[in-house]
Structure 1
């Protein structure tokens, strides 16, 4: 347990706090992919929110049409003001295309759509649906600084489970890359990025005014891309980070299309593009080698910390991950995939909400009217 303050105001879990906070003036955005729907973890989140009573809950849903009806019925069982925002419906797709915003689909795009709608409330909270340790303190803790005049609040927690250190993309990619850049360029923006205990946490809260001014990458660069704009909007003085205590959710493998290696490329591209946007002159010819050296030193420190706690630690696997992540340490190429801030967007959030609502009704009605498949007996077999 510690209580050290840094450049960003840090709220520590010293007494298991459940502070008073403006929950009734906040919209909670919970992006859900198909795997989250009707899950026990998501059910726990919604049952907890019933007790909290937020202004409303916005669910940006990424799922095929046949899942929309069952999800709508499931959400209707909760005593909450819930708005289901189907992100993959035809009307929403056409609306984004007409605005020149069609492109890759991912969590960042879904959150952007949800935040646009949620920003009608005074405050916006964003968190995942797969948290198995969710309790009512999380939303209250995230909102507490906003009730005290701060503009943005970031959650943090220790990714420690089963006597092992997790949070690998943060520990082995984000931290050494940011510190490598900071060693060569002691700029305020890099100091800001280095201030966060867990910068890749998906849990944050913001005033609606701040939320409307944030650009969001379409996919996994969401968390670091958000911080890039929050620095410009809120800065050190308007930012807080909050200890959410014990926080457990799904772990990813390193390989595969949804693995940490693929995520590192998206996170790295967004991070380095943001660094360049803030005027840092990066020496990309030497950056990878310098990143590797920093990451190797951190692996030594993590190994010592794990041994101190009697945890299992696979040094070879950690070093292998550093090598995989090093492939993402390169000058960003290709188009900027950040979606515009809602203050600058070429469409309105209300138009998106209307399109999504019509898509939900159509998908649900189509599922109800679709004839059931004939059984073998009915088919004359």
Structure 2
């Protein structure tokens, strides 16, 4: 049985146990899109949260106007103190634009919207809504280190399904990228990033003090950008990672507008932004070469691990992904991170007022449509 420690405190699920944790002092942020509405995964997540009974559940919702009403009514069926924030609402969008906070939209922007209201609680937990294997124990496990003096807690898990290794963006991009950075640069944040067993996991918890200092990446760089700020405000001593077991959720293709190739650009950008913030100069061409070499070595190891377990493994497909991800390595784009809520030009009250007005307007429109029918 494995229980090796990393440089960040690593908590292992050596038995099926839900530890005592301050769930009643925590807000759980669950970003959701209309695509997940009514699905088995989100049903499981929300049903499990009913048994957890956190202080509040904040749902930043990305949806078209016609879907907001049905989603809102469906969420009311769960015995939870739920706050819905329609991320596409016109008043909310205008509020952000008026204060220079408009721009690229994505998961990170949605989470940032949800983090503001969540700060009213002592602790904040963030996790995805598409987890088929979700357990009520996850929230307590993520919160446990925070109740014992840590400021930041990250989930990790095995991405194994149907006799195959998943977690491709982490395995084939992030891990070898960090290894390539470590080969040429001596900065403690690289060791910090390398300490997390699944750095791209969407599940984390933090004190509201730390969350208020997060500069949130707007898109798929959210998870890595969060680690960079967690290092600055919590460091090795204030950070932990928690075993959440095996995880099952949606898989993405490599190509396409929301595929892994597009996500790789954001992951690389967020990773190199962390180094740029710390004044580390990078030769990007040399980094790309070192990355490819490190990734190819890891593919060989993954192939052996898969064979050992009797899993399917397409070595050529994995190597093709490595070549695709190598194209993403270059200087970070312009910094468009959202500001920490501690320094935000809008208040949480402003955001809540705009979001509530948008929901009232949608409810009125829904009523009109029903009356007209």
- 1:330 is displaced (CA, Å) by 0.9
1:186 and 1:156 mapped to 2: Cα distance? 25
Q: What's 2:304 paired with?
A: 304
- 1:186 is displaced (CA, Å) by 2.5
Size of the aligned set, in residue pairs, is 373
1:1-381 residue pairs with structure 2 within 5 A? Answer: 1-333=1-333, 335-370=334-369
- 1:361 is displaced (CA, Å) by 1.4
Give unpaired runs (5+ residues) of structure 2. Answer: none
* Structure 1 segments of 4+ aligned residues over 2 angstroms from their partners: 371-374
2:275 and 2:201 mapped to 1: Cα distance? 19
Secondary structure of 1:83's partner? strand
TM-score (norm 2): 0.98
2:204 and 2:132 mapped to 1: Cα distance? 18
- 1:276 is displaced (CA, Å) by 1.3
1:364 and 1:256 mapped to 2: Cα distance? 34
Secondary structure of 2:27's partner? strand
Give unpaired runs (5+ residues) of structure 1. Answer: 375-381
When structure 1 is superposed on structure 2, of 361-370 and 320-329 the one drifting more is 361-370
- Answer yes or no: is the 8 Å Cα contact 1:127–1:202 preserved in 2: yes
- 1:17 is displaced (CA, Å) by 2.0
1:137 and 1:203 mapped to 2: Cα distance? 13
1:64 and 1:110 mapped to 2: Cα distance? 14
- 1:65 is displaced (CA, Å) by 0.8
Secondary structure of 2:213's partner? coil
- 1:6 is displaced (CA, Å) by 1.5
- 1:208 is displaced (CA, Å) by 0.6
1:164 and 1:185 mapped to 2: Cα distance? 34
Q: Deviations over 1:293-345 (max 9, x none)?
A: 01000000001111111111000000000000000011123x21210110111
1:198 and 1:285 mapped to 2: Cα distance? 26
1:106 and 1:350 mapped to 2: Cα distance? 23
2:173 and 2:180 mapped to 1: Cα distance? 11
Q: Deviations over 1:59-107 (max 9, x none)?
A: 0000011111111111111111100010110110010011110111110
Secondary structure of 1:370's partner? helix
Secondary structure of 2:59's partner? strand
1:200 and 1:245 mapped to 2: Cα distance? 15
2:364 and 2:207 mapped to 1: Cα distance? 36
2:338 and 2:274 mapped to 1: Cα distance? 14
- 1:364 is displaced (CA, Å) by 2.0
- Answer yes or no: is the 8 Å Cα contact 1:192–1:236 preserved in 2: yes
When structure 1 is superposed on structure 2, of 279-288 and 252-261 the one drifting more is 279-288
Secondary structure of 1:287's partner? helix
- Answer yes or no: is the 8 Å Cα contact 1:113–1:349 preserved in 2: no
- 1:372 is displaced (CA, Å) by 7.5
Please tell me whether Structure 1 or Structure 2 has the larger radius of gyration of its CA atoms: 1
TM-score (norm 1): 0.96
Secondary structure of 1:244's partner? strand
1:171 and 1:88 mapped to 2: Cα distance? 33
Q: What's 1:379 paired with?
A: none
1:37 and 1:117 mapped to 2: Cα distance? 22
